[in-house]
Amino acid sequence: MSTRKFATKHKALSQTLTKALAADMTWANNNQAHLSKMLVKTLKLNAKVVNKMLDRRSFSMGAVTQANIKEQQAIADEFYAQKLVTKHVTISDYVIK
Q: Which positions ≥6 away from 16 have C-beta within 8 Å?
A: none
Dump pLDDT digits (tens) for 56-88: 999 998 888 999 999 999 999 999 999 999 999
φ/ψ region of 95 (left if φ > 0, alpha if ψ in -120 to 50, else beta) reads: beta
Dump pLDDT digits (tens) for 27-60: 999 999 999 999 999 999 999 999 999 999 999 9
